[in-house]
Amino acid sequence: MMALMPYLESDDRLLVIIGPSGTGKTSALKLLHDQGVVEVTPSWTTRPARQDEAEGTLEHHFVDEAVFIRKKNEGYFLDAAQMFGLPYWYGLPKLEKPEGSRVATVMLQASLLPLMDKHYDNYTVYQIEDEPEKVAQRLRERQAAGHDMGSRLEDYQAEITAGRTRAGRIFTNDSTLEDLAGKIATALIEDRLVGPAA
């Protein structure tokens, strides 16, 4: 039987990654997760998975509303909300302390950061950005492959602006994913989220 992991305390160090769709944040975070740098806790949502999310994603766990409400009533979530004028629920589970030197990490939209403020005193926000033209091209490629572009492109500038008011660091995805992940890993050391001082 596996022992239960302790949960993060309100003043434990925590990384929150934000940024609009199509900027490469999910891919960079997956690379860091696979390298053992971060431990990502997925948010839960009743939003239907897009075609490119059918196998699941690092940042979201998709469930139907009955399952979500049951877990919510059981106290599973740290917090839960309905956002964006849509009927879908989003919930953040209680965050476990990662093993070893991994950094506890979640990926959220900037509009959900007030939920974090209610529970954590010591979290760091990194925003991932890219040129609007490159983001539009990535989203068009996803759409051509059968993925829904939705309103993500129209929301790009609003998300960038909202995120810049809260981000401690802003990273531009202007090279390779490996380069972006490397810059984030270096920042984690500089910001003392990893290493002897963490």
The pLDDT of residue 3 is above 70: no
Of the candidates 155, 125, 127, the residue with the CA atom closest to the CA atom of residue 139: 155
Give the rounded distance of the alpha carbon of 24 from its chain centre.
12
Average pLDDT (85-104) is 89
> Whole-angstrom Cα distance, residue 35 to residue 58?
14
- Total of domains in the chain: 1
Q: The domain that contains 104 carries what CATH number? A: 3.40.50.300
195, part of any domain? no
9, part of any domain? no
Higher-confidence residue of 21 and 56: namely 21
For CA atoms 104, 105, 106, 108, the dihedral sign is: positive
The pLDDT of residue 150 is above 60: no
198, part of any domain? no
47, part of any domain? yes
120, part of any domain? yes
The pLDDT of residue 99 is above 80: yes
- Please name every residue paired with 20 in a beta bridge, in sequence order, or none if there are none: none
1, part of any domain? no
pLDDT of residue 159: 87
pLDDT of residue 74: 96
The pLDDT of residue 176 is above 90: yes
Higher-confidence residue of 196 and 30: namely 30
184, part of any domain? yes
197, part of any domain? no
Residue for token pair 């975070």: 29
Structural domain of residue 131, as residue ranges?
Answer: 14-190
> Whole-angstrom Cα distance, residue 44 to residue 131?
29
Average pLDDT (20-45) is 91
Average pLDDT (126-132) is 89
Mean pLDDT of the chain: 85
Of the candidates 143, 142, 140, 162, the residue with the CA atom closest to the CA atom of residue 83: 162
Q: What angle do CA 124, 126, 132 make, to 5 degrees?
A: 160
Strand pairing report for 103-107 and 60-62: unpaired
In sequence order, which residues have a C-beta less than 8 Å from that of residue 131 and are 6 or more positions away? 172, 174
